[in-house]
Chain A
Amino acid sequence: MDIIKIVGLGLVVTVLIVIIKQQRPELAIQLSIVTGIVIFTMMLGRISSVVNLMQQLAQRSNISFLYMGTILKIVGVAYIAEFGAQICRDAGEGAVAAKIEFAAKVIVMVLAIPIIVAVFDALLKLLP
C-alpha cells in the first residue's frame, strides 16, 4: 500500500518542517522541496505506465503521434511548472510563482500551435 507510506511520510515530514521553520525557514523550504521530489518520483512510475497505455490506445485508434506527443509534452510542462510555482508560493514568493505560471502558460500555448494550425486547416477545407 503506497498511499499509507506516502501519507505517513507526509505527516512525519510536516512535523519536522514545522519544528525547523520556527528557527530556520530557509532550511525548511529545502526540506519541503526534497519531500515533494521524493513523493513525485514515487508516483512517476505509475504515471509512466498510464502514459504508455495512452500511447497504445492512440496507436490502435490511428491518432497521429503529433497530437499525442504534444499533449504529453503539455502535461509534463504543467507538472514541472506547478511543482516550482508551489515551492515558490510556499516560501512566500507569490510574485515569482506567478511568473513561473505565466511562463508555463506561454510555453503551453506555443506547444499547441501545430494543433491550432491543423484545426484551422480542417476548418478552411470544410468552408466552400
Chain B
Amino acid sequence: MDTELIFQLAGISIVITVIYTVIKQAGRDEFAFTTLLLGIVVVLAMVIPKIANLFDTVRSVFRIW
C-alpha cells in the first residue's frame, strides 16, 4: 500500500482550503462552496476504492466469503 496517497490527499486538502479562502475573500460565496464540494467529491472518489480494497483483503485473509 502506498503512503503517497496520504500526502497527496493532504496536499489537495490544503490547496482546496486556500482556494476556498481566496474565493470567499473575493466575495463569491457560491463559487467557494462549489469548490469545497468538488474537492470533497474528488477526495472521496480517491478514498472509496482504497476502502473497497481493504475490505477485499480482510475478506480473503480471514476467509469470509
Contact = CB atoms under 8 A, between A and B. Distances in A.
A31 B16 contact: no
Interface in A27-48: 27-28, 30-31, 33-35, 37-38, 40-42, 44, 47-48
Q: How large is the interface on B (under 10, 10 to 19, 20 to 34, 35 or more residues)?
A: 20 to 34
B59 to A, nearest CB: 7
Nearest to A8: B3
Contact of B62 (A31, A33, A37, A76): A76
Contacts of A34: 5-6, 9, 47, 50
B1 interface: yes
Interface residues of B: mostly helix, strand, loop or mixed?
helix
Contacts of A47: 61
Interface in B1-45: 1-3, 5-7, 9-10, 12-14, 16-17, 20, 36, 39-40, 43-44
A40 to B, nearest CB: 6
A76 B14 contact: no
B20 to A, nearest CB: 8
Contacts, number: 88
A104 B44 CA distance: 25
Interface residues of A: mostly helix, strand, loop or mixed?
helix
A75 interface: yes
A5 to B, nearest CB: 9
Interface stretch (A18-26, A92-100, A112-120): A18-26
Given A38-B5, A73-B62, A33 B57 contact: no
B5 to A, nearest CB: 6
Interface of B: 1-3, 5-7, 9-10, 12-14, 16-17, 20, 36, 39-40, 43-44, 47, 50-51, 53-55, 57-59, 61-64
